[in-house]
Structure 1
Amino acid sequence: MGAQKEPHGGELKNLYLSEEEAAEEKAQSKDWPSWDLTPRQLCDIELLLNGGFSPLEGFLGKADYDSVVADMRLTDGLLWPIPITLDVSQHFADSVSEGDVIALRDREGVLVATMTIADKWTPDKRKECEGVLGTTDDTHPEVDRLLNHSGPVYLGGRLKGVQAPRHFDFTHIRHSPREMRDLFAKWGWRKVVAFQTRNPLHRAHQELTFRAAREAEANLLLHPVVGLTKPGDIDYFTRVRCYDRLMQHYPEQTSTLSLLPLAMRMAGPREALWHGIIRKNYGCTHFIIGRDHAGPGKDSKGEDFYGPYDAQDLFVEHQEELDISLVPFKQMVYVQERAQYAPVDEVEDHETQLNISGTELRRRLKHNLELPEWFSFPEVVAVLRERHPPLTEQGFTLFFTGFSGSGKSTIANAVMTKLMEMGGRRVTLLDGDVVRKNLSSELGFSKEHRNLNIERIGFVASEITKNGGVAICAPIAPYRGSRRVVRELIEPLGGFLEIHVNTPLEVCEARDRKGLYAKARAGVIKEFTGISDPYEEPENPEMRIDTTDITIDQAAQQVLLKLEKLGYLA
């Protein structure tokens, strides 16, 4: 394993048109149907156009898609484990046909690429989940996306690149596969080991990468993902600042940092193969795979989706065909007696091993507790503390949900008043009826429109939380899926408490101050929650409050005591 690897499939694709061709394509595209790419699709299209996904020349057609889902191979037999698809709405799909050329634009309307539609089909999403992810449990973030949020129709076809997706951040460490290969050649790096990460790096990671580079007698590429990762992950701006501080502790001219705009699927073993292929396209000869690579955590039964070393096993099975070498690693732990890190399987029974999990790290950051120097570098901890101030200084969202008449709006008002009386934070109330009037007046009460209304509330609450304020939301929010979207949007930015006001339906109906239940029973109001439309109860809310036999003041006090217990109130 001496020289830089050939790209997967033997050729590094570059799907960008020349300036003259791109100008002509732009002029013609004004008359073509136009699709605004989602953030995930923008990540995919960037790596399709620049060769990161070589040998693909566009979004998969149906035959390649079916083959990848079933057998991890394209129809020509080449190994490819993850389907790269363009999902669109039914409305857009109905407006186009096979053979049409469509314009693919970013959210600002800039033309990124055009695509000639070769295939249009409605996929079996559950079959895709089973084949690629090994599960249909929608606690898996990619299962949730596929089944609940992605477009129902797939379009496949070859791309023509017009303009690369634009980035205004960290431009000095963003490289295409060709640029990365040229740098390796310029520096004389013949063997390069790549390290994939979506988390901040600490001393254990540094030791792991040092060992991997030494073992392979190779240079090191830290290649963190800055596209879409697992919901709840630390934002990539913070992570990249951590990586920048950490690079000061690597020997000069032996290591480098570059960012990868990848949208992860959290597909475990299959994703490990995919990551290896991408790094091979970037010119790497070796790839580090550690414990539970690209795993999403635990399923709805509390069990891991994938075994801790399933990814390593699958990679070894295909390593010769991939033509990129695996550098496997067990979990690294700090051995107290040695005052150094070691793989967990090399620790003797009489030795003391120390480790701080991601959950424990977040707890210590939230409560401003000490982080020992054996765990991380002071410069890295300083960046994380800046991003994660103590809970008493963080913004948070209180998300009340329950039937109409349950008391959630009244409790929300009482809590808002008490927090404003206490001072220290700016408080905003996003009541369901007020939001409907001012933010969602054009929406009806179909499930689609209700979800959109809740997601709008979530977006506003996330902005308030991100900026250190308190958002108090009090919609009915009858569906678990939309409530989960809001949680995933807010939790990376601050606190989130879901409060189920679980006053029984008969009590709510007996109150019926607005006469809504009577109208719903009479059929005057359609799709009314609890009568003609379902309410999906929260499974694990932070609080439940039944207002049947308590006063509003007592209910508000319960909320304040909960906030104090969790650390949000001094």
Structure 2
Amino acid sequence: MNIKSWTLTDRQLCDCELILDGSFKPLNGFMTKKEYNSVLRTMRLGNGKLFPIPITLDVDKNFSNRINIDEKILLREKEGFQIAYMVVESIWEPDLLKESNLVYGTQDAFHPAVDYILNKGNKIYLGGKLIKIAMPIHYDYKQYRISPNKAKNIFSKLGWNKIVAFQTRNPLHRAHVEMTMKSMEKTNTKLFLHPVVGLTKSGDIDHYTRVRCYEYVLKKYPKDSAILALLPLAMRMGGPREALLHAIIRKNYGCTHFIVGRDHAGPGLDSNGKPFYNPYEAQELLKKYQSEIKIKMIPFQFMVYVPSYKKYKAIEEIKKDDEYKTISGTELRSLLDKGKSIPEWFSYLEVSQELKNSRPALDKRGFTLFFTGLSGSGKSTIANGILIKLMEKGNRPVTLLDGDLVRTHLSSELGFSREHRSLNVQRIGFVASEITKNGGIAICAPIAPYADDRDVNRKLISKYGGYIEVFINTSLKKCEERDSKGLYKLAREGKLKEFTGISDPYEKPKNPEVSINSDGSLSPEKLVDILYHKIIEIGYL
């Protein structure tokens, strides 16, 4: 019997793992249409059990059209390994705007979960129970990959009956240790340090670095008082509802208490520069349901360093005349970017060194110069000029990924349809991300006419280093006047189809780091010099 199979995305694989290992209990599969609608409206499954976030399997229409109700399908991970069977109970096209509004309280695509729902995910949902074949394979940190049942067994063997869980997606510093110690002392609990290592917020420090930091920090706690475990959760950054889900997960792990901070699982600011959620909204929702979940919410105390006492105190305990210190996430990133030392009062030496290794100073970090502009705008001329300037500098390897060269060597089989252009630009982005990740400089000079493709590349490359978008905004008129290859003439005559700027659109960048007009009013040497000094100004040289 030929069973149809679906290859799980990274997000779907995380969800699948947490369904199979019991972290999402009482959920035993991807939600059916009835369960989904109930969760949207009431935060409850069909059986009345509390569950605040829809966990759905989104697929494309081509796949859904081949599937029937009651059919068994196979779920695989990207390498082809079989994870689970699913017996399909529901197939439906959801109202995605309704889902966004009811679950996340907004339709604003600045919210990562809303952006996924509206712009990135598939538009058809399948629901049904899962039948486990094998758990996803993890090659890293196996000793910390602990399921709910295993955690409960560990707690039982250790004689722990009161456990406070602390979730984080960031490295821990001295203030975090002081805060968790206070929570443990106040509640007479042991600590279950349970960071998320699935999908977190764009820009977060990679989990390999974070786990090494957690290992150092774990030694700061009294002996046999804290355990580290990793949670492969795909965060939605869903604020109050997500905080409730996090509490349910920790209850499934056998915890009795859960620390929740201000703006827990918050996605940041909306498109108007305002927070998506009130700072204490997550704590208030969890307080409402903590008796039902049977887990006690512990508010996160904001700790600050008081030099006169040479120790940390909760901000609420600070006297009017006391001076105190703290470092925000933005300030910490600035210190790292400038290659400055992290104060010892703020973090531990081992953690500081890991962060320096993970985020080198800007002038030692790989970066990408991503040119975009019409054909004939001057991209290749300026790209070749800056290539020579950077090679003269000589402090990093430099690679030029020119549009014509890439078409010849990397994308020779592609045409000029929108789909093929997108694929070509994203291939360039992938190669640039690898160069950037390894500390080099990538110079990319395609036309890159579509904003979505440029945005994909920005997000990919920014994970590993710097990204500078260079818009060569030479006018169409000037580009046609040059027309050294005669392409515009052929496009105007209708002999060249799908030509950018004539028969196919060019979507101008809205906020490029650098904008240069190469209309001839300034020499190429001067334009290259302007770009070079802009790179210095940003801090990469």
CA distance in 2, matches of 1:384, 1:406: 41
2:165–2:192 contact (8 Å) kept in structure 1 = yes
- Within the candidate set 69, 84, 101, 2:55 is matched to 84
* Matched residue type, 1:129: S
1:329–1:343 contact (8 Å) kept in structure 2 = no
- Cα deviation, 1:438-493, whole Å, max 9, x if unaligned, reads 33344444444433333222211111111111111122223333222222212221
2:337–2:359 contact (8 Å) kept in structure 1 = yes
CA distance in 2, matches of 1:86, 1:135: 22
Quote the residue 1:417 is aligned against.
388
* Matched residue type, 2:532: L
- Cα deviation, 1:55-89, whole Å, max 9, x if unaligned, reads 11111111111222232221222211111111122
Three-state SS of the structure 1 residue aligned to 2:88 is strand
Three-state SS of the structure 1 residue aligned to 2:130 is strand
CA distance in 2, matches of 1:307, 1:525: 54
CA distance in 2, matches of 1:441, 1:91: 28
CA distance in 1, matches of 2:183, 2:486: 69
- Within the candidate set 329, 338, 347, 1:367 is matched to 338
2:263–2:282 contact (8 Å) kept in structure 1 = yes
Quote the residue 1:562 is aligned against.
534
Q: C-alpha displacement at 1:118, in angstroms?
A: 1.2
Deviates more, 1:543-552 or 1:49-58: 543-552
Matches within 5 A, 1:382-531: 382-531=353-502
* Matched residue type, 1:451: S
Deviates more, 1:134-143 or 1:173-182: 134-143
1:268 correspondence with 2:239: yes
Q: 1:208 to 1:199 in 2, by over 3 A?
A: same
Q: C-alpha displacement at 1:426, in angstroms?
A: 1.2
Quote the residue 1:226 is aligned against.
197
Quote the residue 2:95 is aligned against.
124
- Identity of counterpart residues, as a percentage? 55
Quote the residue 1:23 is aligned against.
none
- Within the candidate set 141, 147, 156, 1:170 is matched to 141
Quote the residue 2:523 is aligned against.
551
Q: 1:453 to 1:141 in 2, by over 3 A?
A: farther
- TM-score calculated relative to the size of structure 2: 0.96
- Cα deviation, 1:112-145, whole Å, max 9, x if unaligned, reads 1111111112222222222222222222222222
* Matched residue type, 1:267: G
1:196 correspondence with 2:172: no
Quote the residue 1:155 is aligned against.
126
Matches within 5 A, 1:226-305: 226-305=197-276
* Matched residue type, 2:321: H
CA distance in 2, matches of 1:117, 1:276: 29
2:376–2:484 contact (8 Å) kept in structure 1 = yes
Q: 1:546 to 1:359 in 2, by over 3 A?
A: same
CA distance in 2, matches of 1:324, 1:412: 58
Q: C-alpha displacement at 1:406, in angstroms?
A: 1.9
Q: 1:216 to 1:454 in 2, by over 3 A?
A: farther
2:403–2:446 contact (8 Å) kept in structure 1 = yes
Quote the residue 2:74 is aligned against.
103
1:148–1:481 contact (8 Å) kept in structure 2 = no
* Matched residue type, 1:401: T
* Matched residue type, 2:454: R
For structure 1, the residue ranges without an aligned partner over 5 or more in a row are 1-27
- TM-score calculated relative to the size of structure 1: 0.91
Three-state SS of the structure 1 residue aligned to 2:89 is strand
Q: 1:339 to 1:538 in 2, by over 3 A?
A: farther
Q: 1:456 to 1:197 in 2, by over 3 A?
A: same
CA distance in 2, matches of 1:170, 1:446: 44
CA distance in 1, matches of 2:227, 2:458: 36
Quote the residue 1:322 is aligned against.
293
- Within the candidate set 34, 37, 40, 1:69 is matched to 40
- Cα deviation, 1:487-531, whole Å, max 9, x if unaligned, reads 221222111111122222322233233333333334444443333
Deviates more, 1:443-452 or 1:147-156: 443-452
1:396–1:468 contact (8 Å) kept in structure 2 = yes
Q: C-alpha displacement at 1:365, in angstroms?
A: 1.1
CA distance in 1, matches of 2:336, 2:417: 41
Quote the residue 1:15 is aligned against.
none
1:431–1:474 contact (8 Å) kept in structure 2 = yes
Q: 1:147 to 1:452 in 2, by over 3 A?
A: farther
Q: 1:148 to 1:52 in 2, by over 3 A?
A: same
Three-state SS of the structure 2 residue aligned to 1:327 is strand
Three-state SS of the structure 2 residue aligned to 1:292 is coil
Three-state SS of the structure 2 residue aligned to 1:379 is helix
* Matched residue type, 1:226: V
Quote the residue 1:540 is aligned against.
511
- Cα deviation, 1:349-401, whole Å, max 9, x if unaligned, reads 32223211112111111221121111100011011112122222211111112
Q: 1:101 to 1:367 in 2, by over 3 A?
A: same
Q: 1:529 to 1:127 in 2, by over 3 A?
A: farther
Matches within 5 A, 1:339-378: 339-378=310-349
CA distance in 2, matches of 1:133, 1:550: 50
* Matched residue type, 1:296: P
* Matched residue type, 2:143: H
Q: C-alpha displacement at 1:305, in angstroms?
A: 1.6
1:87–1:154 contact (8 Å) kept in structure 2 = yes
